Amino acid sequence: MNTQYPIIVALDKPDESLARSVVGNLCGRVSGFKLGLPLLLGIGLQGVRQLRSLCREGIWIADLKAADVFHVLKLTYELVSDIADYIIAHAFIGYRGALEALPPSRLILVASMSHEGSREVIDKCQTLVAKVVDSIRPWGIVAPATRPEVIRYFRSLLGKRTKILSPGIGVQGARPGSAICAGADYEIVGRSIVEAPSPIEAFETIHREAVKVISKCRSVI
Amino acid sequence: MNTQYPIIVALDKPDESLARSVVGNLCGRVSGFKLGLPLLLGIGLQGVRQLRSLCREGIWIADLKAADVFHVLKLTYELVSDIADYIIAHAFIGYRGALEALPPSRLILVASMSHEGSREVIDKCQTLVAKVVDSIRPWGIVAPATRPEVIRYFRSLLGKRTKILSPGIGVQGARPGSAICAGADYEIVGRSIVEAPSPIEAFETIHREAVKVISKCRSVI
């Protein structure tokens, strides 16, 4: 697995052959794969099981952005716990009667989002969301590469033990490597790789740029 | 379809034969069915298609509690738009770059939740969430039967055009009929019916109680 640039590839499109080709080609070269809800629904749990059998390495994440009450979260977790190492849920739903259904050691909480509408509610409630994250101390959190100040805020709040995963690289505007420089542990890249004419070439280009950016910011420190 | 007591049955458990039996027995007697994420993932989209073929009546809702960015919401919607009349998403994620991916006429927004953890973040941000709901004006919203004052708040904010769907009846503590009395259009009942030894008998008991409660509160008005 590549440690120079810890990158997780987001697979969202419900296209089984595309997903198989990306996983087959990038297995061992990336830190893991994040499986979005459309992929999970579209190719089904059996399809995901077969996908994972193509690559036993790295981190596999079920990105359900789960945001429901206890009994629904529990049933959902039971369905994906054998095919993914971690599950993504929203911190904003709170702990009691909701997130307490999920084991913190296998949980990644959305602390902030990368789109513009995140300013309408989530960002304005950041202190409350952070309180939920801080009390649960999940394995990891999601904080957007498009806003490095949010990454820095959560890093200083949570210390080094909690992993920070940052989407928003590429199509959404952030430069490869920039979230790592701001303190993230992994960058999540989706469409810039998966929807490129050649996903491998796209990966290599992003990888080169990220390594350059990261070595530059690390030399400054 | 029963109009005395507008009830939607929530199917969450990923148990295909149970779901088929409940749908087969209650089709035409209830206002519709709400399909939770565990059911959708567990029996797959093909299973859901077959489930719907058992009952062409009523409202069918894909309860994904969707809470992701534009391109993921769009892909998700495309997968369920032929098997459900409406999709449930969280108002919390905001409009720009997120909820604008979904057609308001087929959208139900979660405005508030029924569990205790809802007080940790969502309830404290209710004014901001309400602003998102008010600007989108979706077909319907979800507001919990366990807190009738929230139902009344959204009814007075949105007027009569927006449907209010209320979970929280039965296992979660609210009395059948109480949300309708507070201004909701539909009550959502899940486990009290689906997990009862006899779902039909459970439905009939709940129905009788609701009709009693509703006729009492209506006679007061």
The answer to whether the CB atoms of A79 and B12 lie below 8 A apart is no
Report CA-CA distances (Å) from B177 to B10, B126, B191, B196, B210: 16, 25, 16, 19, 4
- Tell me what pLDDT residue B219 has: 83
Cβ contact B71–A40 (<8 Å): no
- The residue annotated as part of the active site, out of B34, B65, B124, B160, is B65
A49 in contact with B at a CB cutoff of 8 Å?
no
Name chain B contacts of A40, Cβ cutoff 8 Å.
Answer: 41
Q: What is the pLDDT along chain A (221 residues), one digit of tens a residue?
A: 455 799 999 999 999 999 999 999 999 999 999 999 999 999 999 999 999 999 999 999 999 999 999 999 999 999 999 999 999 999 999 999 999 999 999 999 999 998 999 999 999 999 999 999 999 999 999 999 989 999 999 999 999 999 999 998 887 788 999 999 999 999 999 999 999 999 999 999 999 999 999 999 988 65
Listed in sequence order, the residues at least 6 apart from A108 whose beta carbon sits closer than 8 Å to its beta carbon are A61, A86, A87, A88, A89, A138, A139, A140, A141, A142, A163, A165
B97 inside 8 A of chain A by CB? yes
Contact between residue B207 and residue B215 where contact means Cβ atoms under 8 Å apart? no
* Token pair in block for residue A41: 């629904």
According to the model, what pLDDT value does residue A172 have?
A: 72
Mutation target vs A (from B15, B34, B69; most A CBs, 10 A cutoff): B69
Are B113 and A121 an interchain contact pair (Cβ–Cβ within 8 Å)? Answer: no
Residue of A14, A69, A72 lying closest to B79 (CB–CB): A14
Q: Which of B71, B110, B115 sits opposite A12 (nearest CB)?
A: B71
Q: Does B173 touch chain A (CB under 8 A)?
A: no
A26 Cα to chain B: minimum distance (Å): 22
B168 is written with which tokens? 């929280």
Residue written as token pair 């989407």:
A167
Residue with tokens 């952005």: A65
CB pairs A-B closer than 8 Å: 172
**Collapsed DSSP state (helix, strand, coil) of residue B169:** strand
Question: Phi, psi at residue B16, to the nearest 5°?
Answer: -65, -40
Query: Among A38, A70, A92, whose Cβ lies nearest the Cβ of B92?
Result: A92
Q: Which residue of A has its CA nearest to B78?
A: A38
Q: CA B78, CA B72: separation in Å to the nearest integer?
A: 10
Q: Answer yes or no: do A95 and B117 touch at CB < 8 A.
A: yes
Q: Is the model's pTM score more than 0.90?
A: yes
- Residues of chain B short of pLDDT 70, as ranges, are 1-3, 220-221
Chain A residue at shortest CA distance from B67: A65
H-helix or E-strand spanning residue B140: strand B140-142
Scanning every residue of chain A, which has its alpha carbon at the shortest distance from the alpha carbon of B89? A67
Instruction: Using a CB–CB cutoff of 8 Å, tell me whether B103 touches chain A.
Output: no
Task: List the one residue out of A208, A217, A218, A221 whose CA is nearest residue A5.
Answer: A208
ipTM score assigned to the predicted complex: 0.96
What is the pLDDT, as a whole number, of residue B93?
A: 98
With beta carbons less than 8 A apart as the criterion, state whether B133 and B158 touch: yes
- For residue A30 the two structure tokens come to 């990336």
For residues A186 and A31, is the Cβ–Cβ distance under 8 A?
Answer: yes
- Mind spelling out the 3-state secondary structure of chain A? CCCCCCEEEEECCCCHHHHHHHHHHHCCCCCEEEEEHHHHHHHHHHHHHHHHHCCCCCEEEEEEEECCCHHHHHHHHHHHCCCCCEEEEEHHHCCCCCHHHCCHHHEEEECCCCCHHHHCCCHHHHHHHHHHHHHHCCCEEECCCCCHHHHHHHHHHHCCCCEEEECCECCCCECCCHHHHCCCCEEEECHHHHCCCCHHHHHHHHHHHHHHHHHHHHHHC
